[in-house]
Amino acid sequence: MQELVDTLARQRSLGDEGLRALLESPDGETVQELHAQARAVAEERFGKKVYLRALIEWSNVCRNDCLYCGIRKSNRSVHRYTLTRGEILSACEKAWTQGLRTFVLQGGENPPAALELAGTVAEIRASWPEAAITLSLGELPYDTYRLLKDSGADRYLLRHETASPEHYARLHPAGMRLESRIRCIRDLKALGFQTGVGMMVGSPFQTPEDLIRDIRFIESVRPQMVGIGPFIPAKDTPFADQPAGSADMTLRLYSILRLMFPNLLIPSTTALSTLLEGGRQAGILAGANVIMPSFTPASRRADYALYEGKSHEELPIIEQELTAIGYGINRNRGDYSEN
């Protein structure tokens, strides 16, 4: 079994059978070896340092009705908000002062509001020329993506959620199509965004084959970032009573991707640390190299409830957690680089 880890590390890929064996192996030693080799690759490339991204949850207004998501359109119990330009700029200011060099604006899918946000993006760009700006605003027309890029955005996160069209159809309402998500990912790459894809682990109806398809999809797209977290049920959604995904499987995927793509930016996600005590550290020790602390105004955090119990850790705690495992913070922008 452990030879599989060596083969994956050497070839930077593995056949479907091998991937499946690593995802499902009951052998604790193999899993430890997988994490150890992934950690070694990350350390060789990045040192024992983690990049930070300031997550600013810009708006929970959304036109979509994804069955898993707590801020889906038909969830009437959500109190909807959109941060003002002033609130966004003060969140950036706070993050900059604390030494963060990437601002991530994330929100529900709302094309007219996203178009308007371009002005704020330009203002952030002018105020902090050395910061990276990442957006995560869902599927938008090509021209809107282009405007946002021209306004100064550098990166864009658009998880594909699942690379299997049949599985995609069971997680989303009729009318949402994997094809259009993929069209957006290609647009973003073509426009020169550093682009992130990703999926939930253990979303309802997911099979091991689906995860292998996700890995093949990532191989074909070659994104700069991959965000992966366990599915966590959200109340007042159709999946409220579904079981959460597996933290262990999430960690194995971080390690597999680290061995396949040594330079990839892989966040140790909030969903992982929500599900697993010490999950943020476990993610780093499995090969992740990014943490995204929240800089959403405290009064709005409860309203951006994608899932139950979503944790929001402050920077000093994150720093302590990293110190405890012998890691520290890299205060550069942390752009993707091939070498």
Over its C-alpha atoms, the chain yields an Rg (Å, rounded) of 19
Contact 234, 70 (CB under 8 A): yes
136 forms part of the interface with ligand SAH (CB under 6 A): yes
Among positions 101, 307, 318, 322, the unique one binding ligand SAH when judged by CB under 6 A: 307
Q: Where are the alpha helices (DSSP H) in the chain?
A: 2-11, 16-24, 28-46, 85-97, 111-127, 142-150, 165-171, 178-190, 208-221, 247-260, 270-275, 279-285, 298-301, 315-324
Residues 184-213 that bind ligand SAH (CB under 6 A): 200
The phi-psi region of residue 20 (left if phi > 0; otherwise alpha if psi is between -120 and 50; otherwise beta) is alpha
Helix (H, G, I), strand (E, B) or coil at 16: helix
Distances (CA, A) of 164 to 169, 196, 198, 226, 307: 9, 18, 13, 17, 23
Q: Near ligand SAH by CB under 6 A, which window of 26-34, 91-99, 114-122, 153-161?
A: 153-161
With respect to ligand SAH, which residue has the nearer C-beta, 68 or 96?
Answer: 68
Q: Considering the complex, what minimum distance in angstroms separates the CB of residue 237 from ligand SAH?
A: 7
Hey, what amino acid is at 86?
A: G
Residues 79-118 that bind ligand SAH (CB under 6 A): 106, 108-109
- In order, the DSSP letters of 314-332 are -HHHHHHHHHHTT-EEE-S
Distances (CA, A) of 228 to 172, 214, 215: 18, 11, 11
Pick from 249, 228, 247: nearest CA to 292: 228
159 forms part of the interface with ligand SAH (CB under 6 A): yes
With respect to ligand SAH, which residue has the nearer C-beta, 8 or 225?
Answer: 225
250 forms part of the interface with ligand SAH (CB under 6 A): no
217 forms part of the interface with ligand SAH (CB under 6 A): no
Q: Near ligand SAH by CB under 6 A, which window of 41-49, 158-166, 214-222, 290-298?
A: 158-166
Q: Near ligand SAH by CB under 6 A, which window of 42-50, 122-130, 145-153, 231-239?
A: 231-239
234 forms part of the interface with ligand SAH (CB under 6 A): yes
d(CA 161, CA 78): 22
Site string for ligand SAH, 256-295 (x = CB under 6 A): ---------------x------------------------
Q: Considering the complex, what minimum distance in angstroms separates the CB of residue 207 from ligand SAH?
A: 18
55 forms part of the interface with ligand SAH (CB under 6 A): no
* Shortest-Cβ-distance residue relative to ligand SAH: 138
Q: Considering the complex, what minimum distance in angstroms separates the CB of residue 37 from ligand SAH?
A: 27
With respect to ligand SAH, which residue has the nearer C-beta, 30 or 203?
Answer: 203
* 161: Cβ contacts below 8 Å, ≥ 6 apart: 66, 168, 171, 172, 181, 198, 199, 200, 203
Contacts to ligand SAH by CB under 6 A: 68-69, 106, 108-109, 136, 138, 158-159, 161, 200, 229, 231-232, 234, 271, 306-307
